[in-house]
Amino acid sequence: MTGPRAKTCATCGRGLSPREVYYRFSLVLQGEQDAIDTPGGGTGSEEELALLLKQLEESPESPQEMEEQVHWERSGVVCGACRSLVVRTLTPKPEAAGPH
């Protein structure tokens, strides 16, 4: 009978013992933009959209790179130390309370 498969921390790469506590994560970053700058002043005409599409097609970035700029998704496990780092990084700093 074999035990659970060994896991590896997605952040630091350290092997995790089956008896060690680990943390599952799923992260999705989705790009959003409220307004697009178009060459013709933003009227959204067919000519402007065709020009914008042409600029995208002539871009030096691959379609995969462009896609990852608007949708990036990862999941895995992290060790306790890396969990602390991620939580610290993604937790907003408290606003200054000001003088009391």
Task: Flag whether 96 is in a domain.
Answer: no
Task: Flag whether 99 is in a domain.
Answer: no
Give the pLDDT score at 51. 84
Q: Is the distance from CB of 90 to CB of 98 less than 8 angstroms? A: no
Give the pLDDT score at 100. 57
Per-residue pLDDT 10s for the chain (100 aa) are 577 788 999 999 999 999 999 999 999 999 988 776 665 565 667 888 888 888 888 888 888 888 888 899 999 999 999 999 999 999 998 876 667 5
Name the helix (H) or strand (E) containing 82.
Answer: helix 80-90
Task: Flag whether 54 is in a domain.
Answer: yes
Q: The domain containing residue 11 runs over which residues?
A: 1-29+72-87
Give the pLDDT score at 59. 84
Looking at the fold, whether 7 and 24 belong to one and the same domain comes out as: yes
Looking at the fold, whether 65 and 79 belong to one and the same domain comes out as: no
pTM of the model: 0.64
Between β-strands 15-16 and 23-30, what pairing exists: parallel, antiparallel or unpaired?
Answer: unpaired
Contacts of 34 (CB under 8 A, 6+ apart): none
Give the pLDDT score at 48. 81
Looking at the fold, whether 43 and 65 belong to one and the same domain comes out as: yes
Task: Flag whether 92 is in a domain.
Answer: no
Contacts of 18 (CB under 8 A, 6+ apart): 3, 4, 6, 7
Total of domains in the chain: 2
Q: Which of 18, 31, 9 is nearest to 76 (CA)?
A: 9
